Chains A and B, each alone.
Chain A
Amino acid sequence: MLPKEGQFRDPSGCAVTGVIDRSGRGMTGEGMIEAISVMHDRSNGLGGGFAGYGIYPHYKDFYAFHLFYDKKEAQEGAEAFIRRHFEIVYSSEIQTRKLPSVTDEPLIFRYFLAPLPQKLANSHLDEREYVARCVNRINAEIAGAYVFSSGKNMGIFKGVGYPEDIGRFYRLEEYEGYAWTCHGRYPTNTPGWWGGAHPFGLLDFSVVHNGEISSYDANRRYIEMFGYKCTLQTDTEVITYIIDYLVRRRGLTLEETAHVLAASFWSTIADKGEEAKEQETLLRRMFPSLLVTGPFSIILGYTGGLMALGDRLKLRSMVCAEKGDRAYISSEESAIRKIEPNLDRVWSPAGGEAVVFELYGKGGLAR
């Protein structure tokens, strides 16, 4: 049997797409399913997934954990752990639809959680750090259990199969959110483990990514200094950790984070204005090991917004578009046109240029 993600490094080619309604109006998952189906050939049936934001309005104050269980015993172990650290507000198996093209699914459960106040206080940790560590522990220590979504009022849905099938499998047309991202995967040496599909999430961050980065081990060995454990050995995972580290833990803005991840070339920086030169040079001097090289285009989802970012050489395609309140990001323009033929504006961001779309007036992460 082939080893699963985490036991080897797993690069893959992919399709990514995302949409946000900046006025906060809800959209069902149907649009994403339609969009990604256009890019069918960018996936190979070995992984697909979605992230939806604003989909749990009734439980928006609780951490929504999505877990895969390989077996019943794993569920018991994981739930015991969860109970030791959280109050379970509500839990259930996630409703799915049987499809001939989606097979070998694990047990898939959802929990809405609040950290146990005493435990949290005893840990001397910030609440989100507490949650993140719990997620890491379940994933690292409980064999057969895997938390694949852990943010508030958002959820990741993923599995082995073509993304449009995965979307139907999870009945995403029944969910409504203000933002969605989607990923179709073309891994080159995966056995197809459900946990290895994308998006990858940590708390409310979700990342979908297309490409294969060459800086992986430099990034990984650096970020692991700060308590992260790159158990999946995927680009998406390490990029998510980098973003989490820089944004959540070091307090950088998304724009600054982009200048670290996809830093301008020194020669480009030299031609910039004094202030930009100074700030970007400083960021490169402080975080050189978090520069990500090689091809990537990512869509970062977070509470209140989406960010598109491509590598500084623009080795992967990435298109952005706007229509009214809605903004779109995709590997290919066709996927956007499929769901919105009449766009106000379509453009390709430059390599290393972060494009951020946020809910109006909600004060997201961008500065």
Chain B
Amino acid sequence: MNMYIQPEYEVIRNSDKCIACRVCERQCANLVHSFDSETGKMKADDSKCVNCHRCVCLCPTHALKIVKSDDTYKINANWDNQTINEVYKQANTGGVLLSSMGNPKPYPVYWDRMLVNASQVTNPPIDPLREPMETQLYLGKRAAKIERDEQGKLKNTLAPQLKLKVPVLFSAMSYGSISYNAHESLARAAEELGTYYNTGEGGLHKDFYKYGKNTIVQVASGRFGVFKDYLESAAAIEIKMGQGAKPGIGGHLPGAKISADVSETRMIPQGVDAISPAPHHDIYSIEDLRQLVYSLKEATEYKKPVIVKIAAVHNAAAIASGIARSGADIIAIDGYRGGTGAAPTRIRDNVGIPIELALAQIDQRLRDEGIRDEVSILVGGSIRSSADVIKAIALGADACYIGTAALLALGCHLCRSCHEGKCNWGIATQRPDLVKRLNPDIGYKRLVNLVTAWNHEIQEMMGGMGINSIEALRGNRLMLRGIGLTDTELNLLGIKYAGESM
């Protein structure tokens, strides 16, 4: 017997406002809404609702809202409703619980426990509307020999670097997990913003090669879509060792999402589940990673930086030290609140560590070892605002990857149902009628707006600190103070408590 589980959310329709235009009905891929021709009224089936808010947003009279059901089992601080329901679900099905997007559990968000400094009297704030306020930067190795030509001019001995006009990149999201239109939006936005988007492990659709100079291509354990042209088209290559949302496991794209186009792009059969293994089967230790790094560099004639992406785990600092000595140019660290198109719920919610702590430790470790210039540090995993970017850079990051925030800009409402493939916002789906809901003309502009707005805010905050180059903020931890943190946390973050003077 299947235990009935009360829907978690209810669709509330204000019948005084509903004009029965049926937009909600037409826009719900989950078939929640229907028109009752007998009564002339709209109805809703709560059990199908994933709370994506598509109907709420499109209802022209704002007659809809989705509320948390107040149905409850006997209140139990240990066995809350969701925990109980998950037991029922697993007893019903015998399956691993699946979920999507980032860890929603109430773990501490360290970004929110750090405060930023501003100038007063002893040095001046700088007005970004009047003075240049530089957010441009380069990613990659900075360690290089000083060599001079016959005229005494410095020779360029630097390894290839990535130039960014803003300290924000779009993180890896594969074509397959997200739609063609979402990818196009990201690619075009990256081009306009002077930054990069990342193919994820889904290969690069042939239409998007033209955005190559703003593309980071990923080489993941499944090696989907990896071939010569793919590597050569890109600005940089990222080896994905792990993902914050699901450290220690691989990926699983359901066959339903492997459309003809996705199949061609990934170079895998259509309609068959795409499994990326947990490890790279050619990397069982750090020296194997070094070989892959140099294989990729050889393949692309040392013209492109190689990024190694890891999930933030307990030993991240030591791993990062190994990566910095592996020949990689950039380390990307993905915190445990990073998003995913599908992950086992238990892993998403219980594995990994906060990006803030991992970042602070990695940056310090690399400095302690004197190898911070061997690599740039990219961080992702729930960078939610320009303030998070500022704090990340002050902790020691070079730039930030944003994934969830970018999807939100595209319309995502964090219903965490990506794995079902029926994204009403046209993002995490391959169904043509749903994909077309995301017009890249709108999507790319919204992404550009978001990052541009963040950049303005970053400039404002930098100006407040009297800093006019993002490079002078990097690792400038005196600009941060902790609040509500223990001594251990302050030590790990390498910052002082709010109120402590310089």
Contacts and interface: CB of A to CB of B under 8 A. Distances in A.
- Say if the two chains contact directly (CB < 8 Å): yes
B372 interface: yes
B131 to A, nearest CB: 6
A11 B122 contact: yes
Contact of A218 (B119, B138, B476): B476
A291 B156 contact: no
Interface string B373-396: 100000000000000000000001
Interface in B118-149: 119, 122-124, 126, 131-132, 134, 136-138, 142, 144, 146
B153 A10 contact: no
A214 B154 contact: no
A294 B502 contact: no
A218 B124 contact: no
B502 A8 contact: yes
Given A221-B367, A285-B158, A214 B142 contact: no
B131 A217 contact: no
B123 A295 contact: yes
A265 interface: yes
Contact of B158 (A212, A265, A286): A286
A219 to B, nearest CB: 8
Nearest to B135: A266
A288 to B, nearest CB: 4
Interface stretch (A42-50, A52-60, A80-88, A249-257): A249-257
Contact of A288 (B126, B138, B154): B138
A102 interface: no
A52 B478 CA distance: 34
Interface string A200-226: 000000000001111111110110111
Contact of B502 (A11, A256, A289): A11
Contacts of A284: 471
B85 interface: no
B478 A189 contact: no
Chain A interface: which size bin?
35 or more
Contacts of A286: 142, 144, 158
A324 B217 CA distance: 63
A293 B158 contact: no
A175 to B, nearest CB: 33
Contacts of B367: 221-222, 224-225
B448 interface: no
Interface residues of B, number: 41
A225 B119 CA distance: 27
A89 B192 CA distance: 67
Most buried by A among B137, B142, B471: B471
Contact of A293 (B136, B161, B396, B466): B466
Given A212-B123, A367-B152, A218 B473 contact: yes
B467 interface: yes
A266 B136 contact: yes
Interface in A101-120: none
Contacts of A287: 142
B474 A218 contact: yes
Contacts of B152: 367
Contact of A11 (B123, B370, B468, B476): B123
Contacts of B144: 286
A225 B475 CA distance: 13
A289 to B, nearest CB: 6
Contacts of A279: 153-154
A283 B124 contact: no
A205 B136 CA distance: 33
Contact of B472 (A214, A252, A265): A214
A217 B476 contact: yes
A313 interface: yes
A245 to B, nearest CB: 12
B477 interface: yes
21 contacts: A8-B502, A189-B501, A189-B502, A214-B472, A215-B476, A216-B476, A221-B476, A221-B477, A225-B373, A250-B146, A252-B146, A263-B469, A265-B132, A266-B136, A268-B132, A288-B469, A288-B471, A293-B469, A294-B466, A313-B131, A367-B152
Interface of B: 119, 122-124, 126, 131-132, 134, 136-138, 142, 144, 146, 152-154, 156, 158, 161, 367, 370, 372-373, 396, 465-469, 471-479, 501-502
Interface of A: 8-13, 188-189, 211-219, 221-222, 224-226, 233, 250-252, 256, 263, 265-268, 275, 278-279, 282-289, 291-295, 312-313, 315, 367
Given A221-B475, A266-B132, A295-B466, 16 more contacts: A214-B467, A215-B469, A215-B472, A218-B473, A221-B367, A224-B367, A225-B367, A225-B372, A251-B146, A265-B468, A279-B154, A283-B154, A289-B472, A293-B467, A313-B126, A367-B152
